[in-house]
Amino acid sequence: MFNKILIANRGEIACRIIKTCRRMGISTVAVYSEADEGGLHVRMADEAVLLGAPPPGESYLQIEKIAQAIRDTGAEAVHPGFGFLSENSHFVEAVEAAGAVFIGPPVNAVAAMGDKIESKKIAEKAGVNIIPGVMAEIDDPEEAVKIAQQIGYPVMVKAAAGGGGKGMRVVNSDDEARDGFRAARSEAETSFGDGRIFLEKFIENPRHIEIQLMADGHNNVVWLNERECSIQRRHQKVIEEAPSPLMDPETRAAMGEQACALARAVNYKSAGTVEFVSDQSKNFYFLEMNTRLQVEHPVTEMITGLDLVEQMIRVAAGEKLAFSQVDVGIDGWAMEARIYAEDPLRGFLPSIGRLSRYRAPEESEAVRIDSGVEEGSDVSMFYDPMIAKLIVHGEDRAAAVLAMRSALDSFEVRGVRHNIDFLTAIMREDRFQDGALTTAFVDETWPDGFAGAELGDREQTVLAGVALLAHVTVLARDRSISGSLNGPAGIPGRWMVQFGAQGHIHACVALCDGGLTMQVGDRTVEVCGDWRPGQTLFGGTVGGEPVIVQVERQGTRWALSHAGVSLVATCLSEKAETLLARMPERVPADMSSMVLSPMPGMIVDVLVAEGDDVEAGQGLAIVDAMKMENVLRAERAGTIGTIHVTKGASVAVDQLLIEFAS
């Protein structure tokens, strides 16, 4: 067994690998950029080596610098995690040349499976089902259009070296094929340094299902069940679960056997994932093979009891797998939610800043948190905006969904925008609870974009009750101070809880042991909980149901979050409500002539000049945010007045970019 392992990665996955190494008694070496100098993974490791400046190209993608760190620290093996250099065959060669063992598959397998075109040829030869398409490099947009017409729309435009949703577009027409080809190639060149593009048929109503496998160097290949990863946005996975609600034992076995056949075809060793796209009738086709640990590997660990990082390390050290196919079972149901620093209400644009508050749910056998941040950490514009992965386990799928909803309600993140409400809204959807999934689930559920979870009657009652309990608790404490003119007796009575533009609720409040009762119309609702001023979580019951609500005092108002609904509530006495009705309405400023940056990032290009006449929908500028290019388009026709930015400039969210003259 190795004595020292260098981890060629950062953040959450680096911390997760370090935990397993600690348990195995292996010392660790972290590498880091200047932006990550105070990072959690740096502090957790036994040693740390600075690679360079924050951009990945100057740090985490510097193969020679990492190779030098291997030599300088005497690391005997290297775990690449996922992303960055994890599927780079040149990196595998560099690690071995530096005298260390690569904790992953052999270089030939990485090279073969890392090329989307070559991997499909190998898969077809190995007897794996493949999607109809053209497995050849495409040179220009017109050739892409011609091939797309031959295949038949819809068509998927994909980067040969792609991954993580980058360099990928679904197109439905000749014009979309041209634009999709250009955008996919640009993203692929930026993210992977490889602009090769190919096309394949897009399967209607598809599901993304993948097989986890493990292989050693002694001719043993085992599949570890499947994961359903159909809940995606922009081809980026959001919710993953194991097993899949679509699968039956026969289909599962067929997928597993094909995945193992592909692994054997390239003499695979270590952990790997074979991804399939399946239609609703369980016809499945090979998508790609990821020759690394997957982001969603914890759900497989939850249902099998295996530590996949440990297995990778043991296989790399030359050990045989200690289990066979018959030993692999399915224990209950597991789900993972990826918590990102992004704003779902603004098209999921990335958010950067400092985590002024970060309180994850308490971990247990049923709840696991994989994270590379802590309270006070900075979310940088240079890297993936994932804050944490929340993994839960239940005896069945319904139990896992309930566990996830409860854990999301209690996950506190402040300082950056985040997607927790969006994740909870997914859990609330009947279609999700029924397991009727497709990769278009998010777009079909919120075709006009996510605007927040619905404030239903139940959620309104819960939030109003908790707001009133918090408000009267603070009021009672304040009025109990010596010398106060009004005692607690003045609190009961008629109150209005205002939820801003989301409406209001009237209630007659009375105090009781352990909380209060509120009369809402003809209903009497009891709110019970041992909440104290300063606490940010309310845990108790509303109407007899257990609830968890996030509570933050904002002056005279209360910021609340529960069941995917986040809002600010104002509790008004009957007199205050009367006075509020006399307040003049505030008219917002006119911003229609200004183009603001919807995200922090870098200006890739400015597509117009001052004095240009533009039409609605015309591109104005391209902003790169966390390796994804976003075209900002004119919302109306007009003439460009002043341009405030230049190509290559870094911009902040809501920064003024362009002004219209008319």
DSSP symbols for 428-454: H-HHHHTT---TTHHHHHSTT------
Backbone angles phi, psi at 617, to 5 degrees: 90, -10
Q: Count the alpha carbons within 13 Å of 32 in the hemisphere toward its beta carbon.
A: 22
Q: By C-alpha distance, which of 309, 318, 263, 317 is closest to 286?
A: 263
Task: Give the count of beta carbons closer than 10 Å to the beta carbon of residue 646.
Answer: 8
Considering the candidates 76, 210, 226, 288, report the single residue annotated as catalytic. Answer: 288
Q: Across the strands, what pairs with 388?
A: 339, 371
Q: How far is CA 560 from the centre of its chain?
A: 23
Q: Count the alpha carbons within 13 Å of 213 in the hemisphere toward its beta carbon.
A: 30
Maximum alpha-carbon separation in the chain: 87
| E strands in 80-220 | 101-102, 133-138, 155-163, 166-171, 197-201, 207-215
**Distance in Å from the first CA to the final CA of the chain:** 70
Handedness of CA 161, 165, 170, 176 (dihedral sign): negative
- Known catalytic residue: 288? yes
Cis status of the peptide bond prior to 141, with omega within 30 of 0: no
State both tokens at 323.
């289990």
State both tokens at 177.
């094929």
Q: By C-alpha distance, which of 467, 485, 450 is closest to 233?
A: 450
Q: How far is CA 169 from the centre of its chain?
A: 19
* Contact yes or no for 13/298 (Cβ under 8 A): no
* Contact yes or no for 236/294 (Cβ under 8 A): no
* Contact yes or no for 84/12 (Cβ under 8 A): no
The catalytic residues are 288
